Structure 1
């Protein structure tokens, strides 16, 4: 069962202001290319995905996952994002 996605007010605002497609955000949450912990707290995670419609640029989505939902905190094109090398 897929968890419910909830958007914070901040996420709703920045997605609209930055002209991001919600489908890109949801694809990043459901199937990220990679993920990292966020220094803002132990429960916060950064999810990354290359978006073909953005000429391969990387979308970063910041989330907090609970047992019943994934809360989307923010989203933006991360021009400096680089997929970590495999160990």
Structure 2
């Protein structure tokens, strides 16, 4: 995990359920292909990265930036992103 971020219990569970590799999460947080600040009504930041090792699908990592360390709320492959 990257310094300055922590995983919520929900995000940890979703990574396990969805077979999301920790390295993919690290890559997405450290070098996102897209960064969407204030992307939802909760003021969360969305980090997106295309994961070539997973068929080029887009990994979306939703982060609460208002706490320290920033909290990864959830993580999933987003079929809507093109």
TM range (shorter): 0.7 to 0.9
| Partner Cα separation in structure 2 for residue 15 and residue 56 of structure 1 | 18
TM-score normalised to structure 2 length: 0.85
| Partner Cα separation in structure 1 for residue 39 and residue 72 of structure 2 | 13
| Partner Cα separation in structure 2 for residue 19 and residue 51 of structure 1 | 13
Aligned to 1:85: none
Q: Aligned-pair RMSD on alpha carbons?
A: 1.7
TM-score normalised to structure 1 length: 0.80
Q: Return the index of the structure with the highest Cα Rg.
A: 1
Runs of 4+ in 1 over 3 A off after TM superposition: none
Q: Which ranges of structure 2 fall in alignment gaps of 5 or more residues?
A: none
Partner SS for 1:38: coil
Q: Which ranges of structure 1 fall in alignment gaps of 5 or more residues?
A: 83-87
